[in-house]
Structure 1
Amino acid sequence: MNYLGKHISGQFDAELAHIRTQVMVMGGLVESQLANAISTVSNHDQELANKVLASDQEVNQMEVKIDEACVRIIAKRQPTASDLRLIIVIIKTIAELERIGDSAKDICQVALQNFPEEHKSILAGLDTMGNHVVQMLHDVLDAFTRMDLNEAIRVYKEDKRIGQNYEAMIRQLMTFMMENPRSIPNIISVLNCTRSILRISSRCQNICEFIFYFIKGQDFRHVGDDVIEALIADNKV
């Protein structure tokens, strides 16, 4: 079902389409930033890490630019109902994307540190978890583009798997730290990186909730698993 209808004013449609396109450009940039950040960890690529850090300013500028465009369209068009929900969702989504970019910067800090060869094995688990979150971000951006409720629900449920990966990583890191106390400084860095990846998963889940809100007209934040399960059952996902 197409939830993005047409308006009497073709110019209004063009303005909305332009803003949505800019969101996807920003999303693509953040997705690339995150994928590169994960790559810096597994490959210990300090040059790529510095490129990720440098690209953050572009993400920040895009957030400001899109936010200003949304404010202008509210002032000029005074949108109501689903149009207003769409603008609200865009403003909230770009804020989440900017924070994902910040987390990508934090992930890169691991690549900028010197890990002895015997400690590099503790980075292996980050690769799988990180690539899972990159895919999650890619999929939620795709769901946002099409305002696809079923895809948003599917991505939303991925957060549980990321949480399980996180808990497994914590157990592994704690074991490594007890067996090798000299690794504690490096373990702390990896722990911070793992938490950043987990936060990105939660931010992707937030974007899913914004999609739910746009389509259903209901705020699904902090509603509890039973409400989400009812939404899933209703849409047979």
Structure 2
Amino acid sequence: MKALIFAAGLGERMRPLTDTTPKPLLHVGGKPLIEWHLEKLAALGIRDVVVNTSWLADQFPAALGDGARWGLRLHYAYEGDTPLETGGGMLNALPLLADGGADDAPFLLVNGDVWTDYDFARLPRAPRGLAHLVLVDPPAQAPRGDFALDADGHVRTDGQHMLTYAGIGVYRPQLLDGWRAIIPSPLRANGKPKFPLAPLLRAHMAADAIRGEHHRGRWTDVGTPERLQRLDAELRAQSAPST
């Protein structure tokens, strides 16, 4: 299995920090956000990781190299000067995610700007359906949530108890098959389609093709300088030697 890390966003809410540094390369707990993910992926036995980039893209290979220090092979999927959003970014990265020549192999996806104690080993290597999503309790800054989870593990567009997509999951490339029927008039940037992933997920939920799980542990959408500072303080306190 290969993995894809979304790292192309502009990080507008994180300014001024992201004026000079991409959000996934901001340090928290003594290392870049993205490095927490790389360590987990390496421990899981994944060897090939695709990092999609746009804003300040040249900083990623400069900071991470080829991934050898983690026992990984890093591949960079440059989207162009303008990010392609989640759906367009995944579509752009698909050629690099083919596993052993198979272009239908599932891949692990994680957003480069989240931090969590979720154990990636819990993810299925072959999801039942087109995707398996990790959901968390809605954070204070976005209490509405994104999706609901039914008793059988299917993700629904609505429900009594709404949860937030954690930016972690396992996807089959077939999720993007026929995407133009769902998004018939996508925006374009850098000569490529630019569109969100959520409409595709919602379109397939009615056919029970999207499954998920509820992670009740720690998770942070590191979207603002305040949240970054708070998480950094928590992680440093956690790792400090006891006296």
TM-score (norm 1): 0.27
Larger radius of gyration: 1
In terms of fraction of residues, the more helix-rich structure is 1
TM-score normalised by the chain length of structure 2: 0.27
